[in-house]
Every structure is written in structure tokens, then in C-alpha cells.
Chains A and B, each alone.
Chain A
Amino acid sequence: MLKTTLKIACLAALGVCAMAASASAGKLTIESWRNDDAAIWKDQIIPAFQKSHPDIQVEFAPTAPKEYNAALNAKLQGGTAGDIITCRPFDASLELFNKGYLAPVNDLASMKNFSDVAKAAWTTDDGKTTFCVPMGAVIHGFIYNKDIFKELGLTEPKTEEEFLATLDKIKKDGKYTPLVLGTKDQWEAATMGFQNIGPNYWKGEEGRKGLIAGTQKFTDAAYVDTFKALAKWAPYLGDGYKAQAYPDSQNLFGLGKGAIYAAGSWDISTFRGQNVNMGAFKAPPPAAQKDCYISDHTDIGIGMNAKTPNAKDAKVFLDWIGSDEFANIFANALPGFYPLSNAKVTVKDDVAQTFVSWRGQCKSTIRDSYQILSRGQPNMENDLWNVSAQVLNGTMTPEAAAAQIQDGLKKWYAPQQK
């Protein structure tokens, strides 16, 4: 009995250990937070790559967005991360590069397809080294339900005043939720709200760079006005919006119960799946303003694990990501993600086309909390989530919200301490 018991114990221990060893040689594994896109990678993007590179096996292995940063860090530390790493923009990836987890990609032939602006999100502060191949940008705006607009006789609002008047009409009719946006997940309020309409107030790059240089403050009129504009949305949000999470918002609009949805362009494919008859309009500027600005955010890049045993294949793959072929597939397989390369791309989805057409009409900028300003404690992006949700909830005034962000920034960021 002793012997059998011990034998079983040993066998069990061995079995467990055997399961541990799962190092995959030769096959490229992609780490990503885009689990929504898993099917598209498996069925369209990877097969397209393998058509020209039949000898390289690729697997897309995403983690849920909420866990991605933590899980990826743990895996990189443990040396078990995949060969290809999907890169968040700016500081999160810069930190990975500084720790030696990401390899430089300057020497890839296809890097010449990218402008400096496109590369900025994945380049060191001195501008010398780029560590991820830029993949896609997302654009903010509003998606609306065409059927509801037709039924109520509404047209796309061109200015902020028109926007509020439209919301008012939908509210008076009473059948639909005028504006679909929830504050429970907090980031929705900051990203789809504050960052969506803000560039019109702080004049895009001018304001963003001013904050970084310390020549502008969050307590300046531009930022306070953004919060004020946001606060005006509250009466038009859905019943119980304070407990409405992002998926609830997606369902509310997807089921045709909401008229206007504060959007990121990546939502297009979600609503295509739910057969919504939709159109889009850009963040409406205040009436007197002639210029318009849009949030056109470099959101997703792709790099190489510095310790991958398959460096050669990984480079071939990354080089292909930089190619025109990829740009075309990516733009159309995932409408709402816009390739960052200089390749001439025809976007077929009409709503995605609408979004991208704004690039010609307005000036582009990225989200102002992403570069440099979220490096310290308290973390500005976390704070923005918090105060934007509170402004919409009515538990904080626009002035107080702006003051809290400015105070936080002043605590650690030298250019703002002058």
C-alpha cells in the first residue's frame, strides 16, 4: 500500500510537471487585449499572412482587456509571454521597452511606411528608438440610429447647440433614450465623453502640447468648459445611467432603444453584428467656432518580445504588419480601426468611411492624458475616469473636476509646478 500510494503521488507530481512544459518552438504566439477580434484574426488576418508565408505558424492568444496589462507583465517577467506583443500606446509600452521586454523595430523595412506622428506613441522620448509597429488608430464621434432619426424627423446636428436641441426633441418624444452613455465603468465617461468632445475646446494638439509644456492648465477655461458641456448631457442619459456599464450601453443602442451613442469607432463592428441602421456625426463644436477638432487616437501597435526564441519569424511577421497588404485587410476586417501606415487604403464600411472622412475636415489630436501626463502619482487617467463620471452623475461641479486634475498633476509634474 505504501508503495502504491507513493507511486501514485510521484506519477501525479510528474504529470503536473509535464503539463508545465509547454514551450512552443517555431510557432508565433500573439499577445493581445483585443479578444473581441479573435475570430477576425483567426479567420482573416492570419490566413492572409500564411498565404505568402506558409512556413510560419501564427496563433492569436488574447487576454481580456481588464487583465491584459497585469497578465502580460507577469508573463514577461516569468519568460512565458508570446513572441508578438500587442502594444498599448505611450507609457505602458515604453516601460516594457525600458525594462528590456520589447525589442527595437527600427530596422524593419516596412517602418518607412509610417510617419513620425504615427510612430510617436511607440518611440522613446529622445525620438531615436521605435519599439512597436503602429497598427491602428480609433476615432471618436457619435453614432446614431437612422431609423429613429427618420421617425422623429431629426437631422445630424452640426453644432453643440443643435446637438442639445436634438437630444431635447428625442427626450420630449419619450420613446427612446436620447443619449446612450453609462458612468458605472467610469472610462466610458472619460473616453467617450470628455476626450470625445474636448479637442474642440482645447484646440486639439495646441491644448495637449500646452499641458505637457506647462503653458496651459486644467483649470483654464477650455477644460472647465469641456466638463461643463459634459454636465449638460446628464438629463438625456438613460434611466439608471449611473449603474449602466459599457456592455449595457452597447445593448441599449444595439437593441434599438437608444437614439445617439457616444462612440469610439471600434464600436462599429459591434453594431454591425446587431444590424443597426446607423450613421455617424463628429463631435459638434460650439456654434461660434469655425475650426473643428477630432480625437484620432493612435491606439494599438504591435511589437516583439525581446526574448523570443523565434526572433527571425517574428520580424518577418512584424514587417508584414507594416505592409500595404495588412493595412487593407485590417481596415476592412475591423471597420473602425484605421491603419496608421501611409498606404492608400479604401475603407468599405460606410460608417467607418464617415468617421475617417473627418480627418479631411478637422484637425486630429490624440487623447491628452496618454503621453507623459499619466506617468506620475496620482495617475491622471484614473483621475479623469473618476471625475468625468462624477460630473455626469452630478456629484461634482465642472470647476471642482478641473481643479482636482490640476492639483494631481501639480503634485509630481515639474512643468506644471511653475
Chain B
Amino acid sequence: MADNQQIEMVGMNRSAYLRVLAFFLAPAVLIYTLFSVYPLLATIFDSLYLRHEGGALTFNGLGNFQTLLTDETWSKPFWNALRNNLIFFIIHMCVQNPVGLALAALLSLKQLAFRNTYRTLIFMPTMLSVVIIGFIWQLILSPLWGIWKMGLNAVGLGVLFGPYLGQEHTALITISLISVWQFVGIPMILIYTALLAIPDELVDAATVDGLNQWQAFFHVKLPLIWPTIGLVSVLTFVANFNAFDLIYAMQGALAGPNFSTDIMGTLFYRTFFGNQLQLGDPTMGSTIATMMFVIILMGLLVYLYVIQRRIQRYSF
């Protein structure tokens, strides 16, 4: 019915209308379905099968998931990767986003000289490839070159130097901070934009009411940018639980030492493709990918139903 109305409005006969629709929609829908939706569905499908020696497949229901979550051979690496991934995410949330917010707040101050220059330069690392960033930091932290050691010595903190990337208790934190260093530009820009969009009158009114700059920021501006911060958080979540490149580039597929930097992405890669003498396992790889899919989906649901609703209540 709606269709007919529409056709009338546009002034075509039905087949011409369908042709127009097909022309405009088909390319996007086809390529998206073939290269994005189908692979995702096929991956979920694959995770329901068991691969036997010689390559035969049999239907296994949710058996692979049971193996992944309960068989110690699989569950230990899985929970370890999940835990590390959570730490990776928490460090981003606690460092990247507050630093991004602080930088955005400073940049959005009125009459700040060189604002564009700062913004451009601070965003620069975000433009570069993770592989390059990983390699550069590896060189800087390398005990052989000793740049970092020299730097720490110069400021009298030489005792803090250590083989960060080779110790279980420091490797993951170090890598997380490198990732934060690279991507801090994104929350900064997004929050900066949101801050600029706040009408000056609101802040002026607050200042008239006797609030100082700090108070004005926390009581007037911050509540108004909560939706953006929520968005930044969910973007961080999706990106972190999908991360792979930095750890693969810096620590290799075994994500050492003792798997202390192993996250979901590296576990998936190693399981699917194997390692030196480990053969790849496509169905267990798919099982892990499906779990990642579920985790990301849960994060999105939390965002949509909890965070976004609350934010809306606040902002109106």
C-alpha cells in the first residue's frame, strides 16, 4: 500500500520503480551481504561443527562452546585472554578517555592560541599504522638501544627502567599504554567537537551564577557531553575486543611472556592459523570468533539499554 502511494508520488509505473530501487540498493546490499553478513553467519555456523583428523566435519551442536569453556586445555587460554582483554579495555577507559577528555577540555577553552596546531599534532599518531607504532615503541623500549633508559636517567628515574615487554606483570600494561598513546586522538576529537557545540550562553549564565571555570566545566559542560562520552566508551569497547595488530606486531602470535598479553584477537589468530608446529583449527577458531561476537554484542546491548537510557534521562 505504502509502495503504491510512493510510486504515485514519484510518478512511475511499478516495474520502473522497482528498477530504480534495485539500481540504487542492489550494489550496497549485495556486496555487504556477500562480504560481511554471510561471513559472519558462516562463522557462527562453522562453530557448531567438529573437525576430525583428515578433515571430515560432523555436527556438534554447542559442543565446541562447551569444550572452550570447560575443557582445561581450551578454557585456560580462553579465560586468560578474556581477562587480559578486560584489563586492556579498563586501561583504555581509565587512561585514554580521561586524557582525551582533559585534552579536549583544554583545547576548547576560549581564546587559546595555537589551538589548531596542538590539535593537529596530538592527533598525528592516530594516523599511523599500528604495526609501525608497535615497532617504533619496541625500538624505544629495547634494552639494546636504551632510549627509554636514557630518558628515565635524565629525569632521575633510572631505577624505574626494566624489561617491560618481557615481564608478565608489566607487558600488558605497557602495550595498553602504547595503544592509549596512539589512539587518544579519537576521544579527544569527538569530545572536543561536542564541547564546541555547547552554546556559549549556557556557560556564561553559569559564570554569572558565580561558578568558576572548573565548576562550570563539571556542572554545566560535562553533563551535556555524557552522550558523547558514552559513545566514546562503546567505540573503545568494540575496538579493544577486536584488537590484534599491536600485540601481534610487538609480542608475536604466542603473546608472551607466558601468554600475559594474549587477548581474544591473538587467541583467535593462533587457533585458526596455528603456530610453528601447531596446526590451525578452523572450527575452534570459529568458536572463538563467535564468542568474540557474543561479547561485543553484549557490550552493545549494555550500551543501548543501560547507558544510553540513563544519559537520555539526564540530558532532558
Residues of B near A390 (CB, < 8 A) are 257-258
**Nearest chain B CB to A189 CB, angstrom units:** 10
Q: How far is the CA of A40 from the CA of B280 in the complex (A)?
A: 31
Q: How far is the CA of A121 from the CA of B132 in the complex (A)?
A: 37
Q: How far is the CA of A92 from the CA of B279 in the complex (A)?
A: 7
* B141 CB within 8 Å of chain A: yes
- Is there an interface contact between A66 and B259, defined as CB atoms closer than 8 Å? no
**Nearest chain A CB to B174 CB, angstrom units:** 9
Q: Smallest CB-CB separation from B269: which chain A residue?
A: A70
**Nearest chain B CB to A399 CB, angstrom units:** 17
Q: How far is the CA of A411 from the CA of B277 in the complex (A)?
A: 17
Binds B, one of A129-137, A195-203, A372-380: A372-380
Interface of B: prevailing SS: loop
* B223 CB within 8 Å of chain A: no
**Which residue of B54, B141, B168, B254 is within 8 Å of A395 (Cβ)?**
B168
> How many residues on A have C-beta within 8 angstroms of the other chain's C-beta atoms?
45
- Is there an interface contact between B274 and A70, defined as CB atoms closer than 8 Å? yes
Contact A374/B252 with A389-B258, A390-B257, A395-B258 known, Cβ cut-off 8 Å: no
- Is there an interface contact between B252 and A186, defined as CB atoms closer than 8 Å? yes
- Is there an interface contact between A382 and B142, defined as CB atoms closer than 8 Å? no
Binds B, one of A245-253, A287-295, A327-335: A245-253
**Nearest chain B CB to A30 CB, angstrom units:** 21
Residues of B near A382 (CB, < 8 A) are 254, 275-278
- Is there an interface contact between A411 and B73, defined as CB atoms closer than 8 Å? yes
Contact A244/B163 with A73-B273, A187-B276 known, Cβ cut-off 8 Å: yes
- Is there an interface contact between A393 and B257, defined as CB atoms closer than 8 Å? yes
Chain A, residues 79-104, CB within 8 Å of chain B (1/0): the string is 00000000000111001001100000
Interface of A: prevailing SS: helix
Chain A, residues 378-418, CB within 8 Å of chain B (1/0): the string is 11111001100110010100000000000010010000000
Q: Smallest CB-CB separation from B72: which chain A residue?
A: A411
Q: Smallest CB-CB separation from A407: which chain B residue?
A: B72
- Is there an interface contact between A243 and B165, defined as CB atoms closer than 8 Å? yes
**Nearest chain A CB to B182 CB, angstrom units:** 20
Residues of B near A370 (CB, < 8 A) are 277
- Is there an interface contact between B166 and A243, defined as CB atoms closer than 8 Å? yes
**Nearest chain B CB to A93 CB, angstrom units:** 11
Q: How far is the CA of A239 from the CA of B149 in the complex (A)?
A: 12
Q: Which of B55-94 contact A (CB under 8 A)?
A: 55, 73-74
Residues of B near A380 (CB, < 8 A) are 277
Q: How far is the CA of A59 from the CA of B255 in the complex (A)?
A: 34
* A281 CB within 8 Å of chain B: no
Q: How large is the interface on B (under 10, 10 to 19, 20 to 34, 35 or more residues)?
A: 20 to 34
Q: How far is the CA of A244 from the CA of B164 in the complex (A)?
A: 10
Contact A243/B143 with A66-B252, A386-B259, A395-B258 known, Cβ cut-off 8 Å: yes
* A240 CB within 8 Å of chain B: yes
Q: Which of A39-89 contact B (CB under 8 A)?
A: 66, 69-70, 73
Q: How far is the CA of A182 from the CA of B252 in the complex (A)?
A: 14
Residues of A near B274 (CB, < 8 A) are 69-70, 92
Q: Which of B101-148 contact A (CB under 8 A)?
A: 138, 141-144
**Which residue of A70, A91, A184, A251 is within 8 Å of B165 (Cβ)?**
A184
Residues of A near B142 (CB, < 8 A) are 243-245, 248
Residues of B near A374 (CB, < 8 A) are 277-278
- Is there an interface contact between B277 and A379, defined as CB atoms closer than 8 Å? yes
Q: 17 new A-B pairs (CB below 8 Å) besides A375-B279, A389-B258? A: A66-B252, A70-B280, A73-B273, A183-B166, A184-B163, A184-B251, A184-B257, A187-B276, A243-B141, A244-B163, A374-B277, A381-B277, A381-B278, A382-B276, A389-B256, A393-B167, A395-B168
20 A–B contacts from the bound complex (CB under 8 Å): A66-B252, A69-B275, A70-B273, A95-B279, A182-B166, A184-B165, A184-B166, A186-B256, A186-B257, A187-B276, A238-B143, A239-B143, A240-B143, A242-B165, A243-B165, A248-B143, A379-B275, A381-B277, A382-B277, A385-B254
- Spell out A's residues near B (CB within 8 Å): 66, 69-70, 73, 90-92, 95, 98-99, 182-187, 238-245, 248, 251-252, 369-370, 374-375, 377-382, 385-386, 389-390, 393, 395, 408, 411
